[in-house]
């Protein structure tokens, strides 16, 4: 475009537009390659290489060779008329024209319909591995099963467990058997046999949680009382008898690792042990007292070595065999009654921290007739924050919903009252209410027994809020006459909506629920007019439920369901707290039976010979 011997040009980039002369040139100055991937000319209004002007430069437009630098620098430019010190500004050769406003460059700013090509990202192996790991973690989290029941054992329970456990440990260490010790020193032949542990004094002990080992027991500065038989032969002289000895400075460090076995039961999966006897002392006497004192260094050193080798096998057997027999008493999948069972399988390994041990259980009921059936858990995951009590148990709404749906699928949520089972006042009221229907339908059966049937239509649902726990039930109520040797005559059918308040309690190891009727409403599913006619029956039916049905229901529910704890351990001083979607029960522990009593009752029959079956790996015993 020309105007007054000048051509308007739009400079590229951030530079301002200027006028240049009309002199024709055979080449143009090009910019670096743009986003479109081809060189662009600096002067888009002129022809390139003598070609006519085109809004889009032809492919032949090439970058001109750079001109040699001016040795006189910017000062030379000003002498030639450049005038401006701004780099890259071309001054007009003729009369200067006013600058036109900037307009978008079709080459630098392509139209909206032109999408610049994107650079392909380089996918490094590390980035792909991280992305894959993140994807798998999200997938696993989405498919992970939520627990319906959680149990937390706090560090405050360990003091009680330690007292009972140390008594059991003392009894186990007293069963240590040390092999005979024989030797020769010059003309002296000695034999130490029948070594037995008579007493154990544990002056300092500590039991605590450890994140990697779960449970750590440390005993320091303990002492063992020993008694053994001595035999000494020197030439033709023989001496024998019993000697009392003591092992002092006994240190024991053992760790129990807890995990989930394939059946979902908590188990002691490994026992690591380190034991050290610092010193031993034996009180010799008799004719050869001086000789024994001379040989005491050899005898006590050998006995201390043998004693070091025997402590850890006893602890390994106590953990892997005896404690696991105690954990076998924890219910995993058991029957609640003749209709329903409960599944307390561990969903993952127990998680230990410095102050507590957390266990996630499935906590789901199931009908015994459908052992493989399970209700999907879409409830809120229960949370445990408290640590003031010895143990905390949390139950989600899913725990109670699965129980009610299991009983519903088992066909237990129905009740039929016939004849004398119907309260007399309610029987008279129902006959008076439906007298007209009886006369119209079948007058001959007017004196037949009355039948009142309640049937739950859908599985009840539990709602747990900080204000309390409620259960919503929808059932049908059918009123009919049951003449003998004739089909029953139905008088009416109605829908009953009830809301029950639930009070949860923990007694011993049984979780119990007591229900109370809070809201009651009946209506007809046939017509609104019939619903109005049922209003007089509202109060009598509610009274019948409170007097006849609720006691029967509470009697059955008061039996409770067992909490997954070992035999001989009960809850005391329970406190129930409601949250949004779950409830927690904090309590202390009480040993109703001794640990030794429970273990002896459940001791496996095949563990009578413990010397070979319970030997720990060599690395777990420290001399």
Please answer whether residues 431 and 487 qualify as being in contact, where contact means their C-beta atoms are separated by less than 8 angstroms: no
Q: State the Cα angle at 414 between 410 and 419, rounded to 5°.
A: 140
Q: Is the pLDDT of residue 286 over 70?
A: no
Amino acid 256: pLDDT: 92
Q: Is the pLDDT of residue 333 over 50?
A: yes
Quickly count: other Cβ atoms within 10 Å of residue 410's Cβ: 18
Please answer whether residues 312 and 617 qualify as being in contact, where contact means their C-beta atoms are separated by less than 8 angstroms: no
Distance CA 156, CA 586 (A): 12
Q: Is the pLDDT of residue 321 over 50?
A: yes
Amino acid 245: pLDDT: 83
Beta carbons within 8 Å of 590's beta carbon, 6+ residues apart? 569, 570, 571, 572
Distance CA 150, CA 362 (A): 9
Does residue 318 sit in helix, strand or coil?
helix
The backbone torsions φ and ψ at residue 205, rounded to the nearest 5 degrees and listed phi first, read: -145, 155
Amino acid 124: pLDDT: 60
186 compared with 344, residue with greater pLDDT = 344
Q: Is the pLDDT of residue 586 over 90?
A: yes
Q: Over the range 340-369, which residues count as b (16 or more CB within 10 Å of their CB) and which as e?
A: bbbbbbbbebbebeeebbbbbbbbbbbbee
- Residue 613's pLDDT band, with cuts at 50, 70 and 90, is very low
Closest by CA position to 22, among listed 9, 36, 33, 39: 9
Amino acid 105: pLDDT: 53
Distance CA 533, CA 527 (A): 10
Which whole number is the average pLDDT over 30-57? 42
Closest by CA position to 394, among listed 148, 561, 150, 579: 150
Which DSSP symbol is given to 42? S
Question: How much of the chain exceeds pLDDT 70, in percent?
Answer: 71
Quickly count: other Cβ atoms within 10 Å of residue 147's Cβ: 25
Q: Is the pLDDT of residue 60 over 70?
A: no
- Residue 258's pLDDT band, with cuts at 50, 70 and 90, is very high
On average, the pLDDT of the chain sits at 75
Which whole number is the average pLDDT over 158-174? 86
pTM score, whole prediction? 0.70
Amino acid 126: pLDDT: 62
Over residues 375-394, the pLDDT tens digits come to: 888 889 999 988 889 999 99
Amino acid 20: pLDDT: 38
Q: Over the range 103-130, which residues count as b (16 or more CB within 10 Å of their CB) and which as e?
A: eebebeeeeeeeeeeeeeeeeeeeeeee
Over residues 241-250, the pLDDT tens digits come to: 788 888 888 8
Burial of 148 (0-12, 13-18, 19+ CB in 10 A): buried
Over residues 545-571, the pLDDT tens digits come to: 888 788 888 888 888 899 998 988 889
- Residue 293's pLDDT band, with cuts at 50, 70 and 90, is low
Where in the sequence of the chain do the CATH 3.15.20.10 domains occur? 335-595
Alpha helices in 29-88 (DSSP H): 73-79
Where in the sequence of the chain do the CATH 3.15.10.10 domains occur? 154-328
598 compared with 18, residue with greater pLDDT = 598
Amino acid 608: pLDDT: 43
Amino acid 433: pLDDT: 78
- Residue 588's pLDDT band, with cuts at 50, 70 and 90, is very high
Over residues 452-507, the pLDDT tens digits come to: 889 999 999 999 999 999 999 999 988 888 888 788 888 888 898 999 999 999 88
Write down the CATH superfamily of domain 335-595: Bactericidal permeability-increasing protein; domain 2 (3.15.20.10)
- Residue 79's pLDDT band, with cuts at 50, 70 and 90, is very low
Q: How many Å from the N-terminal Cα to the C-terminal Cα in the chain?
A: 101
Q: Which fold has domain 154-328?
A: Bactericidal permeability-increasing protein; domain 1 (3.15.10)
Which whole number is the average pLDDT over 156-160? 90
Amino acid 234: pLDDT: 72
- Residue 101's pLDDT band, with cuts at 50, 70 and 90, is low
Which residues are paired to 562 by β-bridges?
A: 510
Amino acid 291: pLDDT: 65
Does residue 540 sit in helix, strand or coil?
helix
Amino acid 601: pLDDT: 84
């Amino acid at each position: 475009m020309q105007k007054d011997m000048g051509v308007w040009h739009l400079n590229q980039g951030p530079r301002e537009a200027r006028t240049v002369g009309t002199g024709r040139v055979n080449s143009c100055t090009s910019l670096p390659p743009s986003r479109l991937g081809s060189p662009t000319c600096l002067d888009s209004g002129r022809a390139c290489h003598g070609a006519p002007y085109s809004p889009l430069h032809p492919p032949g437009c090439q970058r001109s060779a750079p001109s040699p630098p001016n040795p006189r620098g910017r000062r030379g430019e000003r002498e030639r008329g450049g005038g401006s010190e701004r780099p890259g500004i071309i001054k007009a050769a003729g009369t200067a024209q006013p600058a036109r406003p900037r307009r978008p460059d079709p080459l630098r700013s392509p139209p909206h319909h032109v999408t610049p090509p994107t650079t392909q990202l380089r996918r490094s192996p590390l980035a792909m591995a991280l992305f894959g790991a993140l994807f798998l973690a999200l997938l696993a989290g989405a498919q992970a099963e939520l627990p319906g029941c959680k149990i937390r054992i706090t560090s405050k329970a360990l003091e009680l467990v330690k007292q009972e456990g140390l008594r059991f440990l003392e009894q186990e260490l007293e069963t240590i058997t040390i092999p005979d010790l024989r030797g020769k020193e010059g003309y002296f032949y000695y034999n130490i046999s029948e070594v037995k542990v008579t007493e154990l004094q544990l002056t300092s002990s500590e039991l605590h949680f450890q994140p990697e080992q779960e449970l750590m027991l440390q005993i320091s500065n303990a002492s063992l009382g020993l008694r053994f038989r001595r035999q000494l032969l020197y030439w033709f002289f023989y001496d024998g008898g019993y000697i009392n000895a003591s092992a002092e400075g006994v240190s024991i460090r053992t760790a129990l690792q807890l995990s989930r076995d394939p059946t979902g039961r908590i188990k002691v999966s490994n026992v690591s042990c380190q034991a050290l006897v610092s010193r031993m002392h034996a009180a010799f006497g008799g004719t050869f007292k001086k000789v024994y004192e001379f040989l005491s260094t050899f005898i006590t050193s050998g006995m201390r070595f043998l004693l070091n080798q025997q402590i850890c096998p006893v602890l390994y057997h106590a953990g892997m065999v005896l404690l696991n027999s105690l954990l076998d008493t924890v219910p995993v999948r058991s029957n609640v009654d003749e209709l329903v069972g409960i599944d307390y399988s561990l969903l993952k390994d127990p998680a230990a921290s410095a102050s507590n041990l957390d266990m996630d259980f499935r906590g789901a009921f199931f009908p015994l007739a459908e052992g493989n059936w399970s209700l999907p858990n879409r409830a809120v995951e229960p949370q445990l924050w408290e640590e003031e009590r010895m143990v905390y148990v949390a139950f989600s709404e899913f725990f109670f919903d699965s129980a009610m749906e299991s009983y519903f699928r088992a066909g237990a949520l129905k009740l039929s009252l016939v004849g004398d089972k119907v309260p007399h006042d309610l029987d008279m009221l129902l006959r008076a209410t439906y007298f007209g229907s009886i006369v119209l339908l079948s007058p001959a059966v007017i004196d037949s027994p009355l039948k009142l049937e309640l049937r739950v239509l859908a599985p009840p649902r539990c709602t747990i809020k900080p204000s309390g726990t409620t259960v919503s039930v929808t059932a049908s109520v059918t009123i009919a006459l049951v003449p003998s040797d004739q089909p029953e005559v139905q008088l009416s059918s109605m829908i009953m909506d009830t809301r029950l308040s639930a009070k949860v309690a923990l007694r011993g190891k049984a979780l119990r629920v007591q229900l109370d009727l809070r809201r009651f409403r009946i209506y007809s599913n046939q017509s609104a007019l019939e619903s109005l006619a049922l209003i007089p029956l509202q109060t009598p039916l509610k009274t019948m439920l409170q007097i006849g049905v609720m006691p029967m229901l509470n009697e059955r529910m008061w039996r409770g369901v067992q909490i997954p704890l070992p035999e001989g351990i009960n809850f005391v001083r329970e406190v129930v707290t409601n949250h949004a979607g779950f409830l927690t029960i904090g309590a202390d522990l009480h040993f109703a039976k001794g640990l030794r009593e429970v273990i002896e009752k459940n001791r496996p029959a095949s563990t009578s010979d413990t010397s070979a079956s319970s030997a720990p790996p060599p690395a777990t015993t420290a001399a």
